[in-house]
Every structure is written in structure tokens, then in C-alpha cells.
């Protein structure tokens, strides 16, 4: 990057939901915003997690001044352990966010060697040529920050994830006046999140959820199970309050629920009356109407508490007929099938299940269209770059910006790696730096790539047929009957006949090949592969992966 | 089944969406309603289609009097060719439904040997002990019927799929008065569809879509692409009308669109002004504002016209900047990701894309809660069996029925195969007949089962490692170096090292096994499998399928 140039780009978060990472660079000073992970979808078969390719940062590691983290959600902190193993820089975050980061670092054995710096909405930092200040925002987790970069070129604002809630739980107000002040000073470039850019209107306050939860708690006659995101501490607070008001003890189920609640309580973000939490093994000491169970699994995750409860697969806790199960959540796109399966299972158990968009038991944490316009109006940026969203969300966010007066030519819809350079107050989209995704699979980071995924996809749809032939090195004759083995292909009595046909074909082909140069094993393999492929396609209209193994003895 | 007993059960359609098939039997007379297929979800890897297990019907084939088809959607007709290949009985359906069935029978070479019987809302049939009459309903395809079985025990009504539309396109009115008359006579048992039982309210009329389509057509300045289900003939009619009013020629893209439109027009369900349809190769003879393209692919199906257009992969037709693309449809649950990917691609091409629930460009074809209550109220059945839906939909439909006065004890939520028997006017859920699903995969019907799917799932998530060892039959020594081959597992330079480790382990294990009885190949395979599994799990935390092949020479 040029010395007197301000460069802004993303290494993750554009044209996708997840793995957020944004880079602000002025000359030799690089500051990174967020380091999230992304959950794989069905096209990334078997992959556990997706993180950013940080090749650019590794090449410029001596310029990196720090990693600023806007809040504690996985898509903003999930990549931190993998990042720090490669680039060890100070991490700046608020108290709750740091608490959640620490859980991760502990799991990866990184806690001792990381420089963690506590900040809050009033902090002011200096990173060489840049000063950085912050403003508090509302979201679906407490202690969120927007970031203000005071650069020699002007002010760059990064909103983080946000919404506006004028009546937040625990008086956790956003700094709207501060946002307006920043806007009045003049913002050169705004980066604002786009997750809900397609959704009209303005989010209702989180506070209305509390009333609905309390209503459902008052109606319930037996045990109550309620599920939400563990990190939505404000909602958890409202569950605690509803349980307290209706004289129910509270049980926490699921590892992340127990972890997050204990961190949030310890740090003062969550207030739980003493003696209210009981252990799951003590549930039976109370009448059903004296107990509420707050659990993970609102997204239908197979291993989470609620899924296991729904299939009567949870030790020491059972859902009985007329128990109430409340989903204080919406399915994230892609999770609908898992969630509805859990609901079906719960109904089969005879539970009274409260779910669906009509219940008023969920509000989004992301700004809807009117809130996005409010942010744009407060900041009045010269240049605008919609971030964090799939293409159509960025696209819609551009229309919203245009509608409140931002010039269309000053709005940059970019790809990960695309760089905006600003010099002399003028912004241009110039080059691209290397970007990409890295798969985390088991212990491996980056060892599963597109070839492996392509193979997995083929295997998953068509299966595999393995042909093993043992050939006499000297004369090219078969030493024994070929072995034909299939997995994931067909399975029935007819399959034997089919495999017998393949067997005969292989014997015939090997005989035909006796003349060819025996050093060219490749030709033998190719011939067997092709012939088998053809036979199987004609017979079954399927194309399994065919793997010929030729052994010479 | 007993001679003087009325038996009612489903062989498909309960606790699922798709593969509808219901059976009404009195003594030795069996009448079947619908024979649909179901599209596989991601758990049925690589399977093309799912149909019913009709073992019960095959055992009782001489009792089957006919197959009645309520309407022409895939989940009601998609299984017919596979069914008729096993059980050849007369098929009764309305004109459009027969037209669509014929397309299928032709593809399967069954057209000549099938006894197709044309019926309509006024038809009256006799099947031994049962008389059957019909009533017209509204749905998202024309020519739909509900069915009335006049049995010695009383009247059984099957609604088929339906909604109420008081201002239908083409004056295609439902027989509401007839429904009321049937109800007044006294209905013993009602089978009513449950797809939208979770959705409150009453569907708006299909007619409002036409106005919205016309509005969008008037706004568009360049080419218009509009996508909807080919079978929604009324919506297609409204597209035709909008194109006509705005002076645009119409192009049809996609095999099912061309097929269905030609059948519907030929049979008089669709009225297209002469000269209005042009061929795709003639598009460029017109200005962009003189052309509208009606295409398949509203569900983001990879091979359908719109997906291919969105990736500039369609011969002779291109989407240009400022062309308008209209989704006159909603994504079916499970298709959201594919649809949004197509939208993203279209926006990348610079198209103006009209999509989403706020556009008013889609209404459902299935009765919402108030419509379901209206049907229940018109029919006033003594017994009620909610059909066609996942468990929570059947469950919700039960609550709706209860709310309009049906006794809870008289409502039967059943599984496929569960039988209601009615004698002396009293219904009881008694036994179960065999039911299940059959996978159609390529040319194979039923040759892909759970073992194959389990293998495909494992292969898709973890890949496969194949170990080939060649052993001297006499002394159990390795004849050559083992072959270690992996697919879908890891792929990188480290992988070589890992495979080398496996290699060494295999050599060691074979040496250890030299003492065991060489006839017990199974022990060699098991030992190699276990040892390799362990090594790979420790090194990678993954569990690929391990396939040892032992060859003795």
C-alpha cells in the first residue's frame, strides 16, 4: 500500500454472512477489525468451520498494530485462536467480549501468550498515524462497539453489528448523541452492516420479548423449557426475571449456556437472584410448576440440549406431556428443517410447544431498513461501503443509502480483498489483495480443499466402486479373480449380478491389455475405469467414483 | 381387512410433505386416492425421487377398483408410472390432470397400456360397495377435485389439496354449495389437507397477483423475465394477460413450462392470443421492451432456465443490465439458499430483481387456518383425520378442528400405514399395514436403501481410505508395499507423510499377523481397519471410512 494512502478492505464478511474481518491501513499502520468464523453449509461437506485466508496480513505482520473486536459473536471472534497462532498482536475488546474470547483462547491453550486489552465506549487508542475512538451500540449481545478511525485522510466509521433499541434491557443504551457528533464532524467513509437490509421497518425493542416470556410463564402449568442463544444476555436476563416473578427455579442446560451465563454473571452483565439456579440432578426435588429450564438448541443443532431432550436423550432431564417448550428465537436461514424436526419431536412427547414468527418471542439483533437509514443519516458519510452481508443485502443497502442522499458513485459494493484507496479526500476502488477461505476440519486447518470437497460431493451422491486387479508382472495375466467392492452405490441382490458383470468386463479388458507395455500401469487403470464407468452408466444411469487399483506381483 | 368394515389409511402423505397416497377400503373393494412422489432432502444423498412402498396393495391387487387422482401436482401424480408398472388399474382424473399424467406415461412408455378415465366435478362412479362423487376445489393448479365416498358405513370425504378463492381466474369456481350439501347429509369421516395449518388467516385471491404482475410489467423498461411454477396455469394466464396488455411478445423457457403450457392451452385451460408466443431464437428481432420471457426455475433449481440464465449459461437468451426479473413465487422450505443464490447472480448481471414476500407476487395454493375451519364447518364430520402434512401441521389442524367443535377423541393423527376401521358407525384406530419409502436413483427403484445412504453420508463427511495389501498365501508375508489410497479425506503435502505413517503401520500389523490362520482374511482386515482408524483419529480427529482389501497370491 502507498505511504500517504488510506486503504480499506475486507478479508471476510462481503458476499457472505460470517467470518468478518476488515482492515484499515494508513501507510505502515494496519488495524484489523474482527476475526470471525463462519459455519459451513451443505456444500462444504464435513467441514467444521471456515476462517479467512490471512496471507496478506502474514506478509505485512510487522505493520499490524492490533485487532479490535466489535462484539462477542462467533462471526466476529470465532477465528481469533487460529489467527493468533499465526500472528500474535494485541486484542482490544470490551469486558464481556474479552470474557468470551478468553473461553476460546483457553480451549486452544493460548490464554497465557495473548495480550488482551480491555476497552469501552469511552476508550481512545493510538496506532501510529491513526487514533481510534468508539461508540456503544445495541445488538443481540451486550457490550458492542462501533469504531471511529481518525486518520490523516479523515474519519472512517465501522458500525460493527447493530440495531437501535431506545428502551434496552439493563439500561444498556447506545451512544446515539455521540454518533450524531461524529457525523457532524464529517465522516469520510462509513462501513455499515447489511444483514437485515432486505427487511423493512424498525426492530421492536428487546423489552417486548420479556413481557411475552412472562405471559407464557404464567400460562404454563408444568415444567417450562425455554431456548435461546446463550450470548443473548439481555434475553437470558428476561428469562431469569420471568422465572423469578413466577416463582420458578432455573436450570441451565448446554455447555455454551452454562459458560456464557457464568461469564456474564461474573462480569455483572447478568443479575440472578441468589439461590435461584439449581442443578439438573435436583429438578425432581421440585414440583414441575416450580422449575424452568433454560437451554441451548434453539437452532435445532443436533448435539445441543433441546434436540437431545426432544428425543429423550438427555441424562437426568425429561420432557413430559403438558410441559411447555418455548422457542425464544427464530431459525437462522438454513436451519429451518432442523428446527421443525425438533418441534415435531417435542409435539410427539406431548409438550405444548410455543414457536413461530407469530409468538412475538424473538426480535432480530440487526438493523432493519429504517434503522440502517438512521445510521446513514446520523453519520452522513461522503463515501459508503456496505459490509457484512450477501450480495443482495449489500445491493439493497446501497439503495437505502441512495434514498437518504448518498451519491451512487460514492457507494462501493466490494468483494473480499477489493481495496478502496483514499488520497486527497478522493476514494477509488483500486487493486485487490489476496483473500479466500480456509476450512477447519478436525485438527486440520487448510488441508481440506476444493479437490477433497469435490470428491466428497461425488461420493455422497453416487458412491464409489473399487476395482482391484492383481497382475503377473511378467506376462500381464491376472493372478487372481478381480475384487470389485462398492460403497454407497447399490445394495440389493441384483447388485451381485451387476458386480459379476463388472468382474467379467475387467477380466476381459485385462486380457486385451496383455500386449501393452506393462510399465504403463496408468493405461491399465484408465482402461478399466472407462469401461466400468460406461457399463455402470448404461445399467444404472449413475456415475459412481471408480477407483481401479492395479497390483503387480 | 374385515368384510363389513370400512378401513381408511395412508401409504404416504402423513408426517411428510409429498408422496400422497390414501386408501379407502370396504370389504373387498379398494379405491386409491393419489399416487405422488416426494423430492429427496439433503439426508437422502443423491436419490432422485422417493415413492411409496405399495407392498399392501400388491398383496391385495385383485381388490383394487381404481386410482382416483385429485389434481396434477407431482406430490399427487409423480409416483403413477412406478405404480402402474406394478399394478395396472384404471386411473380416473380430470382433463388437465390426465393431460399431465399422460406426459409422464409417455416418458415411461406406458401410455398405450393404461386405462385412463376422464372425470369431472359432476361425475359419479361405482366401485362395488362404494359410490363415488366429486366436488370442485380451488388450488394452485386448475381442475382439482375433492372426493366423496358413499360407503355402507356412511360418507367419507377427501378434500385433496385446496384453498378457497371467491374470485378465481377463468371463473374456475369451487363447488362450495355442493360441499355444504354433502355436510348437511352428514359426513362420517373427513380427510383434509394440512400443509398450511400453521398459517393464520385466509389466502388472498390469486386475482391480486395479476394486478401486481401488470404493475411490474408497466414499470419495466427492458426485457422482462418472470418465473413461476409451470403448473400454476392461472398465474401463467395472468402473465399472458399482462404481456398482452403491455404489448409484449411472450417466450417460454424450460421444458416443463413448454410442456404444461402446451397441454393447458390445447385443453382450453389457458387462452393465449394468436401470434403472441415467439421462439427464443427470435428474441433479438424485437426491442427489449417488446419481450417478456416466462421461465422455470423459481425455486432456484440448478438445471432450470432461470438458474442457467443467472449464470449466463443459456443458449440464445441473455439477461442484460436493467432487464427486470420477477419471482412470482415463494421459495418452498428448503429451497431458500438456492433461490437467494440465483437472486445474487441476477443482481450481479445488473438486473432489476423483484423478489421477496413483500412484493405481493405470490399467494399459496393451500388453505390457511380460516379456510381449513371453513372446510371443517361446511363438512361437519363426526370423525376427522388431518392428512398431508408434517406432524406439527397435523397437530395444529387438530386444534383447529377442536376449535370448531369436533370432539378431540374423534380426531385421528396417524402415521402412514395406521388404519382407522369403522363398523357400526364407530371408528377406532386398529392395526397398521406395511408402509415405507422407496428410493428411485437413476434407473434403480428400491436398490438404494439405508445402508447405502449411511455409507454416502459417511463418505461425504469424512471421505474414504483404502488399504490394499498383497500377501503370500503360503507364509503370510507381504508380497509388495501396501497401497494406501484416499479420496475426500485430506489433500496437501502433509498428507503424504500421514499416508506413509499408515503404510508403515500396515506393514507392521501384517508382520504381527503372520502367525494367525491365513484362512481368516476377516481377522487381517479387521486388524488393519482398527489400527488405521485409531492412527488417523489421533492424527486428524477424523474418522474416514476405512476399506482394507487383502489379496492373497
Whether residue A466 and residue B540 make contact (CB cut-off 8 A), yes or no, is: no
User: With contact defined as beta carbons under 8 Å apart, do B372 and B180 qualify?
Assistant: no
Contacts of A337 in chain B (CB under 8 A): 41, 333-334
Q: Is A366 annotated as a binding residue?
A: yes
Q: Is the dihedral of CA A266, A271, A273, A276 positive or negative?
A: negative
Instruction: Look at residue A468 and tell me if it is in a domain.
Output: yes
Mean pLDDT over each residue of chain A, to the nearest integer: 93
Size of interface A-B (CB pairs under 8 A): 183
A243 CB-near residues (< 8 Å, 6+ apart): A217, A224, A249, A250, A276, A292
Co-location of A214 and A311 in the same domain: yes
Interface contact A470, partner B, CB < 8 A: yes
- The answer to whether residue B18 sits within a structural domain is yes
Q: Cell 408410472, residue? A: B81
The shortest C-alpha distance from B159 to chain A (Å) reads: 24
Q: What is the rounded CA–CA span in Å between residue B14 and residue B435?
A: 11
Neighbours of A318 (CB within 10 A): 13
Question: Where are the extended beta strands (E) located within B246-332?
Answer: 249-253, 277-278, 291-295, 324-327
Of residues A340, A442, A463, nearest to B456 (C-beta): A463
pLDDT of residue B57: 98
What does the pLDDT read at residue A492? 58
What is the CATH classification number for the domain harbouring B377? 3.60.15.10
Question: Is the model's pLDDT at A433 over the cut of 80?
Answer: yes
Q: Give yes or no for B303 touching A (CB within 8 A).
A: no
A108 is in an annotated binding site: no
Distance from CA of B451 to the nearest CA of A (A): 7
| DSSP category for residue B331 | P
Tell me which chain A residues have a C-beta less than 8 angstroms from the C-beta of B46.
Answer: 460-463
User: How many domains does chain A contain in total?
Assistant: 3
Give the separation between CA B499 and CA B489, rounded to whole angstroms.
Answer: 11
Q: A445 CB contacts (<8 Å, ≥6 apart)? A: A51, A82, A438, A439
Residues in chain B predicted with pLDDT less than 70, given as ranges, are 1-2, 491-494, 516-520
Q: Please indicate, yes or no, whether residues A195 and A238 belong to a single structural domain of this protein.
A: no
- The pLDDT value recorded for residue B1 is 64
Q: Which residues of chain A from 364 to 393 reach within 8 Å of chain B, CB to CB?
A: 390-392
Quick one: pLDDT at residue B144?
97
As a whole number of angstroms, the distance between CA B311 and CA B227 comes to: 16
Regarding whether B249 and B177 lie in a shared domain, the answer is no
Check the annotation: does B12 bind a ligand.
no
* Reduced 3-state DSSP string for A4-68: CCEEEEEEECECECCCCEEEEEECCEEEEECCCCECCCCCCCCCCEEEECCHHHHHCHHHEEEEE
| Residues B160, B163, B166: CA angle, nearest 5 degrees | 135
Residue among B42, B343, B446 minimizing CB distance to A392: B343
Average pLDDT over residues A541-552: 87
Cell representation of residue B187: 359426513
- Number of C-alpha atoms within 13 angstroms, CB side, residue A174? 24
Residue B435 annotated as binding site: no
Distance CA B206, CA A409 (A): 41
Asked if B447 and A395 come within 8 Å (Cβ–Cβ), the reply is no
Q: Rg for chain B (alpha carbons), in Å?
A: 29
> Which of residues A203 and B4 earns the better pLDDT score?
A203
B190 with B68, same domain?
yes
- What pLDDT score does B105 carry? 96
Beta carbons of A395 and B446 less than 8 Å apart: no
- Local structure of residue B282 (DSSP, 8 states): G
- The DSSP secondary-structure symbol of A165 reads -
Chain A contact set for B459 (CB, 8 A): 456, 459-460, 463-464, 487-488
In chain B, which residue's Cα lies nearest the Cα of A414? B348
Question: B455 to chain A: which residues are within 8 Å by CB?
Answer: 463, 487-488
- Is B533 one of the annotated active-site residues of the chain? no
B366 is catalytic: yes
pLDDT at A2 over 80: no
Q: Mean pLDDT lowest for which of A263-272, A450-459, B32-41, B184-193? A: A450-459
Which candidate from B459, B487, B494 shows the least CB-CB separation from A547? B487
> Is B71 labelled as part of a ligand binding site?
yes
Shortest CA distance to A92 belongs to which of A58, A123, A51, A60? A123
Mapping DSSP to helix (H, G, I), strand (E, B) and coil, where does residue A433 land?
coil
* Three-class DSSP category at B488: coil
- The answer on whether B47 is annotated among ligand-binding residues is no
User: A125 and A239: one domain?
Assistant: no
Alpha helices in B95-232 (DSSP H): 95-107, 176-185, 207-219
- Indicate yes or no: CB of A464 within 8 angstroms of CB of B464: yes
DSSP B232: -
- Pick the residue of B488, B536, B543, B552 with the most A CBs within 10 A to test the interface with A by mutation: B488
User: Nearest chain B Cα to A452, which residue?
Assistant: B488
> A296: closest CA among A330, A322, A257?
A257
Shared domain for B394 and B476, answered yes or no, is: no
Q: Do A337 and B334 touch (CB under 8 A)?
A: yes
Residues of B in contact with A108 (CB under 8 A): none
| Residues B292 and B251 sit within 8 Å (Cβ to Cβ) | yes
3-state secondary structure of B96: helix
- Rounded Cα distance between A233 and A256, Å, is 12
Largest CA-CA distance found in chain B, in angstroms, rounded: 88
pLDDT (tens digit, 9 = 90+) per residue, A48-102? 899 999 999 999 999 999 999 999 999 999 999 999 999 999 999 999 999 999 9
H/E element holding B373?
helix B369-379
Distances (CA, A) of B426 to B6, B154, B423: 10, 11, 5
The pLDDT score that the predictor gives to residue A9 is: 98
Q: Which of B338, B359, B380 is the last residue of a domain?
A: B359
Which domain covers residue A476, as residue numbers? 463-552
Residue A80 lies in a domain: yes
Span A283-323, pLDDT tens digits: 999 999 999 999 999 999 988 999 999 999 998 999 999 99
Q: Is B365 annotated as ligand-binding? A: yes
Last residue of a domain, one of A340, A359, A378: A359
Is A362 marked as a binding-site residue?
yes
Residue B309, C-beta contacts closer than 8 angstroms, at least 6 positions apart: B225, B253, B295, B297, B317, B318, B319, B346
Closest CA to B23 of B194, B183, B188, B191: B191
What residues of chain A lie within 8 A of the CB of B45, using their CB?
Answer: 460-461, 488
Contact call for A452 and B491, based on CB within 8 A: yes
Query: Which of B347, B391, B470 is facing A347, going by the closest CB pair?
Result: B391
B257 φψ region: left (φ > 0), alpha (ψ -120 to 50), beta (else)? alpha
Q: Min CA distance, B126 vs chain A (Å)?
A: 39
Q: What pairs with residue B49 in β-bridges?
A: B440
Structural domain ending residue among the three candidates A393, A411, A445 = A445
Cβ pair A385, A6 in contact under 8 A: no
Q: Are residues A148 and A10 in the same domain?
A: yes
Confidence of residue A519 (pLDDT cuts 50, 70, 90): low
CB atoms within 10 A of CB A111: 14
CA dihedral angle for residue B214, residue B74, residue B143, residue B54, rounded to 10 degrees: -170
Of B392, B491, B553, the CB nearest to A447: B491
Half-sphere exposure of A354 (CA within 13 A, CB side): 24
The DSSP letter of residue A408 is: G
The region of weakest confidence among A350-359, A511-520, B124-133, B440-449 is A511-520
Set B158, B366, B397, B437: catalytic member: B366
To the nearest whole Å, the CA of B372 is away from the closest chain A CA by 18
A529 and A411 in a common domain: no
> CA-CA distance, B134 to B178, in Å (whole number)?
9
Does residue B152 share a domain with residue B38? yes
Q: What are the φ and ψ backbone dihedral angles of A473, each rounded to 5 degrees?
A: -55, -35
Inside any domain, residue A239: yes
Does residue A3 register a pLDDT over 80? no
Q: Is residue B423 part of a domain?
A: yes
Nearest by CB to A41, from B337, B392, B491: name it: B337
| C-alpha distance from B487 to closest chain A C-alpha (Å) | 6
Residue among A327, A358, A456, A550 with most chain B CBs within 10 A, to mutate = A456
Q: How far apart are CA A459 and CA A526, in angstroms?
A: 19
Short-list A465, A490, A469, CA closest to A478: A469
Cell 474470547 sits at which residue? A101
Distance of CA B525 to the CA centre of its chain: 42
User: Does B64 lie in the same domain as B32?
Assistant: yes
Residues from chain A that touch B464, judged by Cβ atoms under 8 A, are 459, 464, 487
Q: Any chain B CB within 8 A of the CB of A538?
A: no
Note the pLDDT of residue B166: 96
pLDDT (tens digit, 9 = 90+) per residue, B23-64?
A: 999 999 999 999 999 998 877 777 889 999 999 999 999 999
Nearest by CB to A487, which of B336, B449, B547? Answer: B547
Residues of A in contact with B438 (CB under 8 A): none
B334 in reach of chain A (CB within 8 A): yes
At residue A24, the pLDDT reads: 98
Number of other residues whose CB lies within 10 A of the CB of residue A181: 12
Contacts of B201 (CB under 8 A, 6+ apart): B368, B369, B370
| Inside any domain, residue A458 | no
Q: Least CA distance to B335: which residue of chain A? A: A334
Residues in A touching B479 (Cβ below 8 Å): 553
Owner of C-alpha cell 398431508: B388
Kindly determine whether residue B443 and residue A347, on different chains, have CB atoms separated by under 8 Å. Answer: no
What is the CATH classification number for the domain harbouring B262?
Answer: 3.40.50.10710
A456 touches chain B (CB under 8 A): yes
Q: Which CATH number covers residue A528? A: 3.10.20.580
Which of helix, strand or coil describes residue A212? helix
List A158, A234, A366, A397, catalytic entry: A366
Rounded to two decimals, what is the model's pTM? 0.88
Q: Within a domain: residue A403?
A: yes
Contacts of A487 in chain B (CB under 8 A): 455, 459, 464, 545, 547
Helix, strand, coil tally for chain A in percent (to 5): 35, 25, 40
Examine the domain organization and report whether A115 and A84 are in the same domain: yes
Buried b (16+ CB within 10 A) or exposed e, A386-404: bbbbbbbbbbbbbebbeee
- How far apart, in whole angstroms, are the C-alpha atoms of residue B441 and residue B40? 10
Please, which contacts does A491-500 make with residues 24 or more away whose CB atoms are closer than 8 Å?
A491/B447, A491/B448, A491/B449, A491/B451, A491/B452, A492/B446, A492/B447, A492/B449, A494/B447, A495/B447, A498/A536, A498/A539, A498/A540
Check: CB of residue A414 under 8 Å from CB of residue A420: yes
Sign of CA dihedral A288, A293, A299, A301: negative
Question: Per-residue pLDDT averaged across A384-410, rounded?
Answer: 97
The region that residue B258 occupies, defined by phi over 0 for left and psi between -120 and 50 for alpha, beta otherwise, is alpha
Phi-psi region of B34 (alpha: psi -120 to 50; beta: other; left: phi over 0): left
In the stretch 1-40 of chain B, residues with CB closer than 8 A to chain A read: 15
* Sign, CA torsion B376/B380/B384/B388: negative
Domain co-membership, B392 together with B331: no
Asked whether residue A452 is assigned to any structural domain, the reply reads no
- The nearest alpha carbon in chain B to A389 belongs to B344
Amino acid at each position: 500500500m502507498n505511504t500517504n494512502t488510506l486503504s480499506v478492505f475486507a478479508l471476510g464478511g462481503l458476499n457472505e454472512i460470517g467470518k468478518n474481518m476488515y482492515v484499515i491501513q494508513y501507510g505502515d499502520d494496519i488495524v484489523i477489525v474482527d476475526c470471525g468464523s463462519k459455519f459451513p453449509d451443505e456444500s462444504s461437506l464435513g467441514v467444521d468451520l471456515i476462517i479467512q485466508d490471512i496471507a496478506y496480513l502474514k506478509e505485512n505482520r510487522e505493520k499490524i498494530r492490533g485487532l479490535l473486536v466489535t462484539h462477542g459473536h462467533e462471526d466476529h471472534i470465532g477465528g481469533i485462536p487460529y489467527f493468533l497462532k499465526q500472528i500474535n498482536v494485541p486484542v482490544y475488546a470490551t469486558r464481556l467480549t474479552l470474557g468470551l474470547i478468553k473461553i476460546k483462547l483457553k480451549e486452544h491453550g493460548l490464554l497465557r501468550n495473548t495480550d488482551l486489552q480491555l476497552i469501552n465506549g469511552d476508550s481512545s487508542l493510538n496506532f501510529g498515524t491513526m487514533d481510534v475512538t468508539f461508540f456503544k451500540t445495541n445488538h443481540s449481545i451486550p457490550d458492542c462497539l462501533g469504531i471511529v478511525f481518525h486518520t490523516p485522510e479523515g474519519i472512517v466509521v465501522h458500525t460493527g453489528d447493530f440495531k437501535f433499541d431506545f428502551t434496552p434491557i439493563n439500561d444498556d443504551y447506545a451512544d446515539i448523541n455521540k454518533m450524531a457528533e461524529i457525523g457532524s464532524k464529517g465522516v469520510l467513509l462509513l462501513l455499515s452492516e447489511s444483514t437485515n437490509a432486505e427487511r423493512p421497518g424498525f426492530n421492536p425493542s428487546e423489552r417486548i420479548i420479556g413481557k411475552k416470556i412472562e405471559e407464557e410463564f404464567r400460562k404454563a402449568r408444568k415444567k417450562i423449557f425455554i431456548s435461546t442463544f446463550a450470548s443473548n444476555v439481555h434475553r437470558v436476563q428476561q428469562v431469569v426475571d420471568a422465572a423469578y416473578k413466577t416463582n420458578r427455579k432455573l436450570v441451565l442446560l448446554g455447555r455454551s449456556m452454562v459458560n456464557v451465563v457464568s461469564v456474564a454473571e461474573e462480569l455483572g452483565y447478568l443479575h440472578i437472584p441468589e439461590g435461584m439456579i439449581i442443578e439438573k440432578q435436583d429438578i425432581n426435588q421440585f414440583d414441575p410448576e416450580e422449575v424452568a429450564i433454560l437451554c441451548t438448541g434453539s437452532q435445532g443443532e443436533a448435539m445441543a440440549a433441546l434436540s437431545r431432550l426432544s428425543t429423550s436423550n438427555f441424562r437426568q432431564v425429561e420432557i413430559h406431556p403438558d410441559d411447555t417448550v418455548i422457542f425464544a428465537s427464530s431459525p437462522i436461514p438454513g436451519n429451518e428443517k432442523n428446527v421443525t424436526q425438533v418441534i415435531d419431536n417435542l409435539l410427539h412427547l406431548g409438550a405444548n410447544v410455543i414457536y413461530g414468527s407469530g409468538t412475538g418471542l424473538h426480535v432480530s439483533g440487526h438493523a432493519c431498513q429504517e434503522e440502517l437509514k438512521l445510521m446513514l443519516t446520523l453519520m452522513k458519510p461522503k463515501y459508503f461501503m456496505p459490509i457484512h452481508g450477501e450480495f443482495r443485502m449489500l445491493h439493497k443497502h446501497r439503495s437505502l443509502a441512495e434514498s437518504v442522499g448518498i451519491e451512487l458513485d460514492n457507494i462501493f459494493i466490494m468483494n473480499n480483498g477489493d481495496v478502496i484507496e483514499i488520497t486527497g479526500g478522493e476514494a477509488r476502488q483500486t487493486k485487490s489483495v489476496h483473500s479466500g477461505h480456509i476450512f477447519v476440519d478436525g485438527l486440520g486447518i487448510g488441508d481440506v480443499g476444493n479437490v477433497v470437497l469435490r470428491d466428497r460431493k461425488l461420493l455422497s451422491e453416487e458412491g464409489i466402486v473399487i476395482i482391484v486387479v492383481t497382475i503377473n508382472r511378467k506376462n500381464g495375466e491376472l493372478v487372481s479373480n478381480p475384487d470389485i467392492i462398492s460403497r454407497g452405490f447399490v445394495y440389493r441382490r441384483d447388485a451381485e449380478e451387476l458386480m459379476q458383470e463388472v468382474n467379467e468386463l475387467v477380466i476381459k479388458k485385462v486380457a486385451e491389455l496383455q500386449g501393452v507395455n506393462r510399465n504403463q500401469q496408468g493405461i491399465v487403470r484408465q482402461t478399466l475405469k472407462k469401461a466400468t464407468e460406461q457399463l455402470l452408466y448404461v445399467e444404472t444411469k449413475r456415475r459412481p467414483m471408480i477407483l481401479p487399483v492395479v497390483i503387480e506381483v
